[in-house]
A = this chain, B = another copy of it.
Amino acid sequence: MYQYEYLHKFVLEVFARMGCSEEDATTATNVLLDADLSGVDSHGVARLIGYVRLWEAGRINTKPNIKIIYETPSTATVDGDAGLGLVVAPKAMQIALEKSTNVGTGWVAVKNSNHYGIAGHHAMMALPHDMIGFSMTNASPLVAPTFSKERLLGTNPIAVAIPADQEPPFVADFATTTAANGKLEILQRKGEEAPTGWIQDKDGNISTDPHSLKAGGALLPLGGDRLHSSHKGYCLGAMVDILTSVLSGANYGPWAPPFVSFLPLPDDPVGEGLGHFFGAMRVDAFRPADEFKSHMDNWIRRFRSAEPVEGQKEVLIPGDPERLSKQERIKNGIPLLGPVVDDLESVAKKMEIKFERGQ
C-alpha cells in the first residue's frame, strides 16, 4: 500500500527531472495520481514509465509553448507543441472555462498532444464554476469498427461532469468500447476467457481468448457485435476521433500515434500528435444555477432510490465508484501491482530518485 503523498512527491520529482517546470510537474502529477485515487489503475502511475520512455524517445517536449492558433468568442484550437497531455489538457480546459465565462460556452480542440490521463479529471474542472464539463481524446488504434478486420480507432473516451447542489456531481467517464485493454490483461494473468463481445481475432472472428488483441485482433466498439448495436459504439468512437483530431489537425483514426515508445510512428502522418476536445457550458447560460442544481439533486435522488434488481444493493449514479475509491484510498493508501512497482523502481534508479517499496 502506498500513501498518496509519498507517490505524489516521487512522481513530481520524476516530471521535474524530465525538465518540466515546477508548475507543469505539479499539474501532471495531480492528473496522473487522480487516476490512482479514483481506482482507474490503468491510467495512473502504471503509465509513468510509458511517459518517461516517450520522453527518452524524443516524443515529448517538457518545455512546450502551448498556444492558441485559431479562435472565436466561443472556440479555440490549441497547439500542444508535443507537450505532456497531462499538462496540455488542463491548460486547454482552462481556455474553455474562460470562453464559457465570457459567452456562455467554450469549446477547445487540441492537436499535437499526448496521452492526457483520465478524461474525467479535465471535465471535472468545470464543476467549481457551476459549469458542465466535457472531455474527449483519441488514442492508439486498437478498435475495429463494425464489419472491419482492421483496427482504426482508439478506445476514445468521453467524460461529462455535471454539478449538483447537496448531492455529489454526476461524472460519467468511459471508453467507447465494450471493455478496456486493462480488463483483458487481468484475464490474461488469471488465465480466464473473455466474454463474447469484448474482442475479435485477427481474422475478425468473435474471440474469447484474451490474448487475441496482442495477436493482431481488436477491441470491439460498445455494443460488441451488430446484433447488440456495435455500430452505435462505432459512431461514438468515430465522433470522438473527428472532434478531437480532424477538427484540431491531429492524427486521426489509424494514424494516431502509439503510446508505447517501441512502436514506430506512422510514416505518413495526417496531422500532429494526438488530439483532444474539451467543452464547458455555464449552467446559468440556460437557467438560474440554483434551479438547475436543485433539480439535479432531485434527479440523482430519484435514480439512486430506484428499486434495484435482485442481488444488487442500489442503482449507482455515474461518478459514485470513483468518488468512493478516492475517499477510501486517500485514507488507506493506493495498492500497486508488483509489475507496476518494478517499473517505478526502474524509473527511480535511472533518475537517481529515492523510492522505497511498500510505502
Contact = CB atoms under 8 A, between A and B. Distances in A.
Interface of A: 70-75, 77, 103-105, 107, 109, 132, 145-150, 152, 160, 162, 170, 172, 174-179, 195, 197-198, 200, 203-205, 222-224, 227-229, 231-236, 238-239, 241-243, 246-249, 252-254, 270-271, 281-283, 285-287, 291-292, 295-296, 298-299, 302-303, 306-310, 312, 314-316, 318
Given A172-B235, A222-B229, A248-B286, 7 more contacts: A77-B287, A152-B303, A172-B238, A205-B309, A235-B318, A246-B292, A253-B299
Contacts of A170: 238, 242
Most buried by B among A195, A241, A296, A315: A315
**Chain copies in the assembled complex:** 2
Contacts of A132: 243, 247
A238 B205 CA distance: 33
A160 B239 contact: yes
A234 to B, nearest CB: 8
A247 B286 contact: yes
- Sorted from nearest, which 4 A-B pairs have the closest CB atoms? A72-B104, A204-B309, A172-B235, A75-B104
A324 B197 CA distance: 28
B195 A309 contact: no
Nearest to A232: B174
Nearest to A246: B295
A197 B195 CA distance: 13
Most buried by B among A162, A200, A246: A246
Given A309-B147, A310-B203, A73 B73 contact: yes
A147 B318 CA distance: 13
Contacts of A310: 203-204
A204 B241 CA distance: 35
Nearest to A229: B178
Contacts of A74: 73-74, 103-105, 285
A356 to B, nearest CB: 37
Majority DSSP secondary structure for residues of A touching B: mixed
A77 B162 CA distance: 18
A200 B72 CA distance: 47
14 contacts: A74-B105, A74-B285, A75-B286, A104-B107, A148-B303, A149-B307, A162-B242, A170-B238, A178-B229, A197-B228, A205-B309, A222-B223, A222-B229, A253-B302
Most buried by B among A72, A200, A205: A72
A309 to B, nearest CB: 3
A286 B277 CA distance: 11
Given A104-B75, A246-B295, A292-B247, A195 B228 contact: yes
A73 B102 CA distance: 9
Contacts of A306: 145, 148-150, 152
Given A178-B223, A287-B77, A287-B249, A295 B307 contact: no
Given A223-B222, A235-B174, A253-B303, A145 B77 contact: no
Contact of A203 (B292, B309, B312): B309
A295 B270 contact: yes
